[in-house]
């Protein structure tokens, strides 16, 4: 019903544009319909006094009665909302090793990776195998908040003696979590787009709201007013401002740090510290190894100089995730991720650090960090941070995706040598221009046929005749006309 109403309103606006005017409001649209008859409209089909509706007759060059705009279904399949079972308990943990074995294969191979449906079936039907609850006394909700890995895990800066009783989120309240609150981090630069909207909506549709917080990091190095613009000048993000005020979403400004704290231990990857470190500076800081300083309290810091920084958006986001997770912990998600299930069982175990493997790469060391989790200020987060920033390593394992291809060499689509990008672009433009000329010449000679729209809409639809078949738009509920 909402879609039909949306379509009618859109049609009304199109009519107004064709007439050279746009109504001030929907009321004006219905009170003051078209005053003159346009081609394709019938003066005898008026509604009320002087109203005009589209003519049931359609004049076009060519149309397929068995597959056309009027009888094409909106979705390729019958929509359904599968129930994936009750939300896991607050202390439920997912066995990540078991999930990897069932959905990817062994850690040495990826023999099960092509069989995605088998993995989905296992996720739906195998919860008793990969979900488990720790023994009494070992559960996350039973530990004192002051020992929690995450900052503000109890909603009171980890000052409570124990976690409060659970309270579900409501329109006016964020609710209370009876266990550690897990931070979810993501990074964005520029105005909000449909990706931001879809990501946030998928988060709210799937996650345990009282027990998670969504931190959106906005690039302040590229735009010092990024946060202010998102809060006060972004029309798309405006709908999410109530969640910022309630505390569900935390907007943070990202500035590349000049130094990052490191945990106690050997932070030189076995190279060793200087045998004769220099003298302390005025801040009582001493350079103890290449890129490492130690302050007067014994805290070691990784120094990040301007030469090691980059302000390209993709490269910055690669570094952001490692720095943020090292300092704050939790989970990081690229903004083009769509959450389908509660991620909490993957994020509260003692060994929750993970990153996905690149799907088409056989090496278990080729990680994809679009979704990853790290323990804050841990040996692993420190190691990855030093390797990613200090050593300048790339988050993408291969420069050329075809390096992962191990099959027989494929034949080139063209025997000619590959042209420069701009030459290829000009060729495409020339081809497009020529095709438009041919199409224009054909239009002058092609006969125009009149079709009845009602008859077309009632004709049996045949998908095999459709050049533009409908897709399975399972996410269409995120973009209802409003």
For residue 417, the number of C-alpha atoms closer than 13 Å in the C-beta half-sphere is 2
pTM: 0.68
Better-predicted residue by pLDDT, 407 or 166: 166
**Cβ count within 10 A of residue 230:** 25
Instruction: List C-alpha distances in Å: 62 to 67, 68, 469.
Output: 12, 10, 17
Among residues 282, 285, 328, 324, the alpha carbon closest in space to that of 303 is found at: 285
Q: Has residue 344 got a pLDDT over 90?
A: yes
CA 29 to chain centre: 38
For residue 283, the number of C-alpha atoms closer than 13 Å in the C-beta half-sphere is 9
Q: What is the pLDDT of residues 83-124, one digit of tens each?
A: 667 889 999 999 988 988 888 877 666 777 777 788 888 988
Q: Has residue 197 got a pLDDT over 90?
A: yes
- Quick one: pLDDT at residue 105? 79
Better-predicted residue by pLDDT, 276 or 24: 276
Q: Has residue 247 got a pLDDT over 90?
A: yes
Q: What is the pLDDT of residues 198-231, one digit of tens each?
A: 999 999 999 999 999 999 999 998 899 999 999 9
Q: What is the pLDDT of residues 2-48, one digit of tens each?
A: 444 455 545 554 554 444 455 555 455 445 554 444 444 444 444 44
Residue with tokens 């449909």: 194
Better-predicted residue by pLDDT, 482 or 449: 449
* Structural domains present in the chain: 1-55 (no CATH), 97-399 (3.90.550)
Task: Return the DSSP state at 167.
Answer: B
Contact 342, 294 (CB under 8 A): no
Contact 248, 210 (CB under 8 A): no
Mean pLDDT for 375-398 is 68
Joined tokens for residue 346? 């993957």
């Amino acid at each position: 019903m909402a879609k039909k109403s949306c379509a009618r309103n859109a049609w009304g606006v199109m009519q107004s544009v064709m007439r050279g005017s746009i109504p001030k409001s929907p009321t004006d649209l219905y009170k003051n319909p078209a005053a003159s008859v346009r081609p394709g409209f019938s003066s005898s089909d008026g509604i009320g006094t002087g109203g005009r509706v589209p003519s049931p007759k359609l004049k076009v060059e060519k149309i397929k009665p068995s597959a056309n705009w009027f009888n094409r279904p909106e979705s390729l399949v019958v929509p359904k909302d599968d129930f994936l079972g009750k939300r896991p308990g607050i202390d439920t943990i997912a066995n990540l090793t078991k999930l990897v074995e069932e959905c990817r294969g062994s850690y040495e191979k990826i023999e099960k990776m092509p069989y995605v449906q088998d993995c989905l079936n296992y996720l739906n039907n195998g919860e008793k195998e990969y979900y488990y609850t720790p023994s009494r006394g070992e559960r996350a909700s039973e530990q004192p908040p002051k020992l929690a890995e995450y900052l503000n895990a109890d909603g009171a800066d980890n000052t409570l003696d124990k976690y409060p009783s659970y309270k579900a989120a409501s329109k006016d309240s964020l609710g209370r979590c009876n266990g550690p609150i897990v931070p979810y981090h993501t990074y964005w630069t520029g105005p909000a787009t449909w990706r931001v909207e879809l990501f946030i909506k998928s988060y709210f549709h799937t996650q345990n709201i009282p027990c998670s917080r969504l931190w959106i990091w906005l690039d302040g190095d590229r735009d010092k007013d990024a946060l202010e613009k998102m809060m006060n000048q972004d029309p798309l993000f405006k709908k999410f401002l109530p969640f910022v005020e309630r505390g569900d979403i935390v907007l943070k400004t990202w500035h590349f740090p000049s130094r990052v704290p490191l945990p106690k231990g050997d932070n030189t990857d076995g190279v060793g510290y200087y045998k004769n470190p220099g003298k302390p500076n005025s801040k009582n800081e001493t350079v103890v190894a290449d890129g490492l300083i130690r302050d007067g309290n014994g805290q070691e810091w990784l120094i990040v100089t301007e030469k090691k920084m980059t302000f390209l958006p993709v490269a910055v986001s690669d570094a952001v995730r490692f720095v943020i997770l090292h300092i704050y912990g939790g989970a990081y998600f690229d903004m083009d991720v769509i959450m389908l299930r509660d991620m909490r069982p993957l994020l509260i175990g003692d060994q929750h650090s993970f990153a996905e493997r690149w799907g088409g790469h056989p090496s278990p060391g080729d990680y994809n960090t679009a979704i990853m989790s790290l323990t804050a200020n841990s040996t692993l987060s420190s190691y990855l941070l030093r390797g990613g920033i200090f050593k300048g390593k790339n988050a993408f394992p291969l420069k050329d995706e075809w390096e992962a291809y191990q099959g027989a060499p494929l034949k080139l689509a063209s025997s000619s040598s590959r042209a420069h990008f701009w030459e290829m672009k000009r060729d495409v433009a020339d081809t497009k221009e020529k095709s438009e000329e041919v199409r224009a010449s054909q239009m002058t000679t092609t006969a125009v046929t009149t079709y009845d729209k009602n008859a077309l809409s009632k004709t049996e639809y045949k998908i095999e005749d459709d050049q533009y078949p409908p897709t399975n738009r399972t996410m269409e509920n995120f973009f209802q006309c409003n």
